[in-house]
Structure 1
Amino acid sequence: MINKKWFTPVRFSHLTSHAAVGSILRDQNDWLMRVKDTRSWSANNMLQLHAVERAKQHLRIHQKLLLPPLAEFDESVNLRIHGTTIPTERFPSWMKCNQCNQLFYEPWRANEIAIDEQINCQACKEGILEQVTWCATSSFGDLLNVPWHKICHRNNNKNNNRNNKKRCTPNIRESRLKIVSGKQGRKIIECLKCGSTANFEQADFKEHGHFQVKEKVRVSQEEKGITYTVMEVNDPRAYSPVNERALVIPPESNIDRNSLKYKLELNSQLINEIKGATRELQRKRLIKRATNTLKCTKDELIAALNDEATTADSSNIEIIAGDMLGDEYLALTTPEDFPEGADFITRHLTDDWAKFIDDLKGAPELQTAARLVNQLVAVDRLRVIEVFKGFSRAASDIEEHKPVPVVPPDLVNEADWLPAIELFGEGIFFTLDDEKIKEWESNQLLRQRASTIEQRYQNSDIILPDEAIPSPRFIMLHTLAHILIRELESTAGYPAASLQERIYCSPADGMTGILIYTAVADVAGSLGGIIELARPDRFLRLFDAALRQADWCSLDPVCGEMEGQGPAWLNRAACHACALVPDTACSYNNVFLDRVFIKGNSASGIPSLIDVLRRADG
């Protein structure tokens, strides 16, 4: 194939999820590609995220956070690319003829054709070669091309033609393997030379060492062999990104991006060179360069360098790692005057909400539902940091109840940085009356129902964040958040996949809140559609509609009476018709959902939220 680079555009926000390091994606020329690890990225041309120390400590990250490289396509100048691209490689390396089904290894190397042209089969002369869609993965995150010859002849050639006395040896330069359909539609690999055949779907084989395609990452001395499993490239087990999110909250979010302090942080390398200069002439030249770069005077720069406060990072803030949601909850519930340009801006509408409820007349049901909401906050602007920590794959030998190992973005876990993106958007935050919720969750029948889900979770292979505890409070908040997302999709016009949930649930700390927000990496700002719904009159209609939607599902009574559904039966009255949302919108794998925790079940004696409120008001 003609040696020429080609480029495929990918959304910025996908580079920490399904198009991140190790993923297999299809490019614009219909090739399957593997995104290469960060050791091959141009880190020197990547920007570092600043004012994120609090988020890093909460996420237990000590590395720097760098934005993925950005390249722009210029059609006006000979179709040139400006900036830095992320390298990929063609994978799988095998291709199959769509007529004779024979396999060829990297046939593009012997064909002088353009990248977007098709490759003709050299065996039958009639077919077109297409990439096979099969790969081999291990439960240690490894990835290989399928060793077709090894699998086909794994039974020591016992199926060979008896007249062929020679052992069949592999030869990737000679086409002698083909894929055919066997009994019951199962795929079979067949050797045209010796006649050996074997089923390869979900087949296992051993390799000594850990590989990422052609690169041996490390050799395991303790293990006799690593088990690899053959699966399709789009199998969910073939790739699972591991990423985490955190809100940037005050004081870090209050930084003025136009201030000299912030500019100094962005140009930390230049500032360190000035501080480390040993000769006066060198120092003067660096200062002159810095004043031109930072658009400031020499006196302003010297004053900033001498002021410890300008170079002190927010890492001096006392932070308890892991208490991220508690800090976010405090920031969301505490009124504050925000500086212009802050990355976190809230408007507290609780007083307006209380007045609006008191003025409601002739709508006792609405008043009852409204009194469940304690605080109402419009989040006019928020900044979310999403960090890509690595990826995992799985094979058939994964031990039960044992977490799947995570492969770091650089494969060898030696880099001092991680890829991360920053998302900007808006949202609605509200809290429920903690005293009323305590009365509601004290019901023994509710606790027993939640205990059933908790037991199933303990017996499952599913791993969720630590805060996801299937208590009555959490299941209720999570289900309510999902129904609100579905309501927002029709009310605000946002696709459900573009919305995110954040659940604040801790009976010990009195946390009973939900944040629904939208945040994207491609634009800095928001459309205002969600925060408009934070107005008391519009939010009441939204909240009431969500409570009514929880009462009924188009698949009732089946959905409402299910003993269990979803992964590991971790949902009960929740299905695609009522409470499930796109995976991108849910932080907890679409589990721990049950509408009964909102609507109740009179036949079982389980009270609804509204029943508890009516008793409290009565």
Structure 2
Amino acid sequence: MTPPPSRRRRSGGMPERSLPRRGSVRRSQMITTYGVGSLIAVDTESFIVSGTDSWNIGEAPVIHEHRLARILGVKFFRLPPASDDTSKDGVRVRRFPLWHSCAVCNALRPVRGFNSPPGKNECGDCLEELVPSRFVTACAKGHIDDFPYWKWAHRNNRQEGESGRCGGAMRLRTSGKTASLRSIVISCTCGIPEVSMEGAFRRSALSNLQVRCEGKRPWLKDAPAESCSEVPRTLQRGSSVAWQPIVKSALSIPPYSDGTAARLAEEWDILRGLSRAEIELYLKIRAVREKGPEISIDTVMALLEAEKHGDTGADQEQVRDSAYLALRKQEYERLSVGNLERDQNREEQFICEPPTSAATALLPYGLDRPMLVKRLREVRALKAFSRVDTPDTNADVHEAQLSLTHLDWLPAMEVQGEGVFLRLDEARIDSWARSAAVAARVERIHSNHLRRLRERATDPKAVPESPATPRMVLLHTLAHVLINEWSLDGGYPAASLRERLYADDSMAGVLIYTATSDSAGSLGGVVAQGAPERLAKALRSAMHRSEWCSADPLCIESEASGAGSTNLAACHACVLLPETSCEQNNGLLDRALLIGTPEDPSTGFFSGVLGR
């Protein structure tokens, strides 16, 4: 990462110097953990990651995923730059927060007021390393600013109508008596009594001080302050809600998975306006010019037809959700049909085949024949980010922009892995869902989730519908217990496995696949779990394990649990997974829909096989 250049005048003939380095992170972390707008600690310093229009991308590889790029309104994706100490590319960062304190003299002021030696972050008087402020303020629209220490310390010591600063010097010290905010004490040399930080995290703490959001976006260079009516919240600098990524992903499926679409990425705008005969001539000329093999006209026409089929024809903002649903349906259809390895070339990135043995052992569980996804490519793109409010499926959160000017690319990462696709018998699900007990349990989850969506919606008339249905909750909970079971039986860390849900009126499936491409990525271990006999054994073990939780009877009798009360019988001791593995932020879960309740075992979809 590279901080912004110092404000020095340079003559026009001098070459641009290499900027100093401040730490390093993995490329994947630039999408999930330390993306644009996030706060990152490097040694004793703190920085905010700059917008993508400030990155020195250098020779950062280009990633193509045609379906996802069209939905997100970009032409391609880029891996974040990976550089060394001698290169000039990298991700720029800016110092934030600006308020620092000195652990020796207890001075508390903006960092420029410490008269630090050049190139160092030290107190000019004590030569002690400065400590960045532990506290910042942020609002739900993504703005972030320094904590208003002066107003907080003087809140009860200013006469009504009085304005201006007192002219004193701020001090911050820690009494060390406790680890609570009460031990962090702020004072001023103007003579006011000392004030602790206790109460600073209350929702009304800053509104009582009449502190309003100033609309600052320090991650964007030269960004003007936005008008904002939100009341900011006090956050810890390292809080998880200080930065939440909004990541969109897609699987590479035929006809886009054999590399042809990527080879023609720069020429799609030309090809769309040509007839078949013109395209055929264009491809021949291209083969001569590129001195490579000619691309089949049938392949190009299939790509254009697939693109045309994927377009909805409506306004982008209006159909974005339906476009994501269409993307999932395309994947569901391809996963159901498969893509045999013997029919593909070596560059094919999607291989999906049925197991060689019969799937009769899975019939009692209501599962159709599983599909073994032996080769899989997923592209995950950082679309935007949010603060304060946690992004949730179908939730309305403000998406803070990654750059001040629109770019034709987004930062992304690609994962090569494997997985197993499971599909439940839809007729059996529909019959089970008609049960009054099942409907009553799911209705509780649905109403709680819908209430949460209404609370977070900016427009009460445009509240999205909750996806909580019997089919959705059943598939989601099944995916969680299987991931937990495979982590025990197959040796996979639960965080290295990931779910991809396909649940609506026309879909009833789940893909469990490797979420990383490291040693737990594509060695065949997950595919081996999909063999019918082994899968039946894993299902049986998972259901028996779900019959009892160490938190029972409180867990199984729970009327509501989880964030926003969007779960029923689900807790960390039985069903919940690491956040990286779950698409729904560990919401919309109920293991009673798998195995039933002590009072009514028939509520469970798999209750009929537990006694076998």
What range describes the TM-score normalised by the shorter chain of this pair? 0.7 to 0.9
Equivalent residue, structure 2, for 1:217 = 223
Residue 27 (structure 2) pairs with residue 21 (structure 1): no
Deviation at 1:486, TM superposition (A): 1.0
Deviation at 1:513, TM superposition (A): 1.3
User: 1:150-193, CA deviations, whole angstroms, 9 ceiling, x for partnerless residues?
Assistant: 4333456349xxxxx9964468xxx5332556998434432123
**Contact 2:371 2:530 (C-alpha < 8 Å) held by counterparts:** yes
Deviation at 1:83, TM superposition (A): 6.6
- The one-letter amino acid of 1:132's match is S
1:566-581 matches, within 5 Å, as: 566-581=562-577
Equivalent residue, structure 2, for 1:241 = 245
- The one-letter amino acid of 1:133's match is R
Equivalent residue, structure 1, for 2:15 = none
Residue 256 (structure 2) pairs with residue 255 (structure 1): no
**1:611–1:334 distance in 2 versus 1, CA, 3 Å:** same
1:209-608 matches, within 5 Å, as: 209-213=214-218, 217-220=223-226, 227-255=231-259, 262-265=262-265, 298=289, 300=291, 309=300, 316-319=307-310, 320=312, 321=323, 322-337=325-340, 338-340=343-345, 341-349=347-355, 352-354=357-359, 357=361, 369=364, 371-394=365-388, 403-410=396-403, 412=404, 414-461=406-453, 469-506=467-504, 508-509=505-506, 511-520=507-516, 526-604=522-600, 606-608=602-604
1:30-49 matches, within 5 Å, as: 30-43=44-57, 45-49=59-63
User: 1:13-67, CA deviations, whole angstroms, 9 ceiling, x for partnerless residues?
Assistant: 221122100011222x2422211111101356444332x222334xx32122321
> 3-state SS of the aligned residue for 1:565?
coil
- The one-letter amino acid of 2:46's match is L
> Hey, what's the Cα distance between the residues in 2 that align with 1:392 and 1:199?
29
> 3-state SS of the aligned residue for 1:211?
coil
1:128-167 matches, within 5 Å, as: 128-154=129-155, 157-158=158-159
Residue 103 (structure 2) pairs with residue 106 (structure 1): no
> Hey, what's the Cα distance between the residues in 1 that align with 2:174 and 2:114?
25
> 3-state SS of the aligned residue for 1:250?
coil
User: 1:113-151, CA deviations, whole angstroms, 9 ceiling, x for partnerless residues?
Assistant: 765xx73572xx496532221111122110112232243
**Contact 1:210 1:216 (C-alpha < 8 Å) held by counterparts:** no
**1:304–1:492 distance in 2 versus 1, CA, 3 Å:** closer
> Hey, what's the Cα distance between the residues in 2 that align with 1:346 and 1:66?
25
- The one-letter amino acid of 2:62's match is Q
Deviation at 1:542, TM superposition (A): 1.6
**1:610–1:220 distance in 2 versus 1, CA, 3 Å:** closer
Equivalent residue, structure 1, for 2:77 = 66
Deviation at 1:333, TM superposition (A): 0.7
Deviation at 1:454, TM superposition (A): 0.9
Deviation at 1:300, TM superposition (A): 4.5
> Hey, what's the Cα distance between the residues in 2 that align with 1:564 and 1:328?
33
- The one-letter amino acid of 1:416's match is D
- The one-letter amino acid of 1:342's match is E
Equivalent residue, structure 2, for 1:119 = 122
> Hey, what's the Cα distance between the residues in 1 that align with 2:298 and 2:255?
19
Equivalent residue, structure 2, for 1:285 = none
> 3-state SS of the aligned residue for 1:435?
helix
- The one-letter amino acid of 2:351's match is I
**Contact 2:502 2:508 (C-alpha < 8 Å) held by counterparts:** yes
> 3-state SS of the aligned residue for 2:495?
helix
**Contact 2:37 2:50 (C-alpha < 8 Å) held by counterparts:** yes
User: 1:540-581, CA deviations, whole angstroms, 9 ceiling, x for partnerless residues?
Assistant: 222221111211112222211111111122111111110000
**Contact 2:181 2:196 (C-alpha < 8 Å) held by counterparts:** no
**Structure 2 residues not aligned, in runs of 5+:** 7-18, 275-284, 313-322, 458-462
- The one-letter amino acid of 1:353's match is A
**1:547–1:422 distance in 2 versus 1, CA, 3 Å:** same
**Contact 2:56 2:88 (C-alpha < 8 Å) held by counterparts:** no
Task: State the superposition RMSD in angstroms.
Answer: 4.0
- The one-letter amino acid of 1:190's match is S
- The one-letter amino acid of 2:473's match is I
Equivalent residue, structure 1, for 2:282 = none
> Hey, what's the Cα distance between the residues in 2 that align with 1:268 and 1:591?
40
- The one-letter amino acid of 1:494's match is Y
**Contact 1:55 1:248 (C-alpha < 8 Å) held by counterparts:** no
**Structure 1 residues not aligned, in runs of 5+:** 74-79, 160-164, 276-290, 358-366, 396-400
Q: Percent identity?
A: 26
**1:309–1:216 distance in 2 versus 1, CA, 3 Å:** closer
**Contact 2:368 2:422 (C-alpha < 8 Å) held by counterparts:** yes
Deviation at 1:262, TM superposition (A): 4.6
Range moving further from structure 2, 314-323 or 18-27: 314-323
Higher normalized strand content (fraction of residues): 1
Residue 11 (structure 2) pairs with residue 5 (structure 1): no
> Hey, what's the Cα distance between the residues in 2 that align with 1:306 and 1:345?
23
Deviation at 1:429, TM superposition (A): 0.9
**1:421–1:170 distance in 2 versus 1, CA, 3 Å:** farther
**1:95–1:41 distance in 2 versus 1, CA, 3 Å:** same
- TM-score of the two chains, using structure 2 as the length reference: 0.78
- Which is higher, the Rg of structure 1 or of structure 2? 1
Deviation at 1:70, TM superposition (A): 2.4
- The one-letter amino acid of 1:112's match is P
- The one-letter amino acid of 2:32's match is S
Residue 69 (structure 2) pairs with residue 56 (structure 1): yes
> Hey, what's the Cα distance between the residues in 2 that align with 1:126 and 1:45?
40
- The one-letter amino acid of 1:536's match is P
- TM-score of the two chains, using structure 1 as the length reference: 0.78
Deviation at 1:95, TM superposition (A): 2.0
